[in-house]
Amino acid sequence: MKTADLIVIGAGPAGMAAASTAADAGLSVLLLDEQPRAGGQIYRDVKRAATVRGHILGQDFTEGLPLVEGIEKQGITQVFGATVWSIDATGKVACSVNGQGIVARGLRVLLATGALERPMPIPGWTLPGVMTAGAAQILLKQSGLVPKRAVLAGSGPLLYLIAAQMVRAGVPPLALVETQVRGDFIAALRHSVGALRGWRYLLKGLKMLRETERAGVLRYRGATGIAVEGERQAKALTFTASGQSHRIACDTVLLHHGVVPNTQAARSLGVDHVWSDRQACFVPRPDQWGGTGHDRILIAGDGAGIGGARVAEIAGRLAALRVATDLGRMTGPERDAQAAPLFRQRNRELAVRPFLDTAYPPYTGALSPDDGTIVCRCEEVTAGDIRRFARLGCKGPNQAKAFGRAGMGPCQGRYCGLAVSSLLAQENDATHDGTGYFRVRPPLKPVTLGELAATEDQTGRAG
């Protein structure tokens, strides 16, 4: 069995920053990530992609290079292609690498599992040719591929970034179809003080919008009734905006209306979660250092609530300082001296979040889809099915599994969980916290019997 002072699950900004900070404090670190290279979703494959596509992806992307370079140091053992499928509160972690099971134990485990793009269930969203906007960005980062004749639809600043990147790549989208309305911006003005503190983020958004406008990309706001036309594949996007019906013929539809914490690992450990009205999702409740109530388990980054790459990096460093102090590698005063500027910086970075979350809410039509819209893709369960289960007495998502297998497919509820909980809460006139979420148990990801049978039992210390 491999051992380490700190096991970090996830090599995004939080995980990389934590690993580097912990190693600098003299801790041994085992860094596990499912991807073949470090970077996470936001800095995916940055070390290679920055040299060939940095001018397209922008400065915010290339800022990930120092983090990737920072984990190339003594004391950090990096294991990529590692699918983590079990974590327990004692610090034991099981994963699969190249078809072989590996078991490791850490004195502390940091969950830096990041975020998931919020699914946007609308009519036709399961057709070939429809994907999330983030998935399109992954294709651009890793392979330099850009979908042609594409329409971007939904809500959130990420749409502006992807539209601008597509323009720079020479394949601008046909249109930008946004769901937020003027009233959302007016409501966000109550957070204007924080917005002014985060003026750099707002300025970036304006610049990206100008890029897309100069490229002739059509822009619609306040869109409702969004649907994808097609039988065997996407053919067009239809919607209503400014009182008029629109149809845009296209080959690809890129959907996005926010990101949400990836909470599967934390939930498997029984970490407390609460519903966040502002982010319209469940979030865990770590302390300021990332502590969870389990002595050995910490959380950092977007998996603890959406804050963005810089906030995630800061959270990773703070968690590592906490671990270094717990394990006797630095004193409390030393930790606090290093942490003080990090806390101040985190507060500055988070100041703009209430404004952004209010100005760009999730699309209402996808939070409460029509009865015929599929919400659980794996098992083809519709919104109408979930409402019918509620009328038959189903009170929570775990019951819904028995009623109709919602959440029992390969994704294990990652992509339908919020929709199922929300629909049940709406139909039962209950709170989200009272309705709850899927109960998550190992294996967190599908694992074969062969991988279990080939599980290593090594001794030795990582790093």
pLDDT digits (tens, 9 = 90+) for 347-374: 999 999 999 999 999 999 999 999 999 9
What secondary structure does DSSP assign to 338-369, as a single string?
Answer: HHHHHHHHHHHHHTTHHHHHHHSPPPHHHHS-
- pLDDT, residue 69, reads 96
Mean local confidence (pLDDT), 376-385 = 97
CA atoms within 13 A on the CB side of 115: 25
- Percent of the chain residues topping a pLDDT of 90: 92
- pLDDT, residue 295, reads 95
Strand pairing of 374-376 and 381-382?
A: antiparallel
Domain 368-430 belongs in CATH node 1.10.10.1100: yes
Higher pLDDT, 448 or 33: 33
- pLDDT, residue 463, reads 41
Chain centroid offset of residue 439 CA: 19
pLDDT digits (tens, 9 = 90+) for 404-419: 999 999 888 999 999 9
- pLDDT, residue 461, reads 42
Please give the CATH topology (third level) of the domain spanning 2-116+260-330: FAD/NAD(P)-binding domain (3.50.50)
What secondary structure does DSSP assign to 380-444, as a single string?
Answer: TEEHHHHHHHHHTT--SHHHHHHHH-TT-STTTTTTTHHHHHHHHHHHTT--HHHH--PPP-S-S
pLDDT digits (tens, 9 = 90+) for 33-54: 999 999 999 999 999 999 999 9
Beta-carbon count within 10 A of 365 CB: 21
Mean local confidence (pLDDT), 447-459 = 73
Mean local confidence (pLDDT), 308-314 = 97
Which CATH class, in words, describes the domain spanning 121-256+355-359? alpha beta
pLDDT digits (tens, 9 = 90+) for 166-222: 999 999 999 999 999 999 999 999 999 988 988 888 999 999 999 999 999 999 999
Q: Which residue is associated with the tokens 């015929």?
A: 372
CB 44 within 8 A of CB 35: yes
**Band of pLDDT at residue 456, cut at 50, 70 and 90:** low
**Band of pLDDT at residue 133, cut at 50, 70 and 90:** very high
Which positions ≥6 away from 306 have C-beta within 8 Å? 115, 258, 259, 260, 261, 279, 353
Domain 121-256+355-359 in the same topology as domain 2-116+260-330: yes
Higher pLDDT, 381 or 200: 381
CA pair distance 32, 112, nearest whole angstrom: 10
**Band of pLDDT at residue 458, cut at 50, 70 and 90:** very low
Q: Which two tokens stand for residue 395?
A: 């009170």
- pLDDT, residue 455, reads 78
- pLDDT, residue 462, reads 42
**Phi and psi for 187 in degrees, rounded to 5?**
-65, -35
Cα distance between the two ends of the chain? 13
- pLDDT, residue 459, reads 38
**Band of pLDDT at residue 61, cut at 50, 70 and 90:** very high
Handedness of CA 404, 128, 12, 455 (dihedral sign): positive
Beta-carbon count within 10 A of 181 CB: 16
- pLDDT, residue 451, reads 85
Structural domain spans, the chain: 2-116+260-330, 121-256+355-359, 368-430
CA pair distance 232, 368, nearest whole angstrom: 25
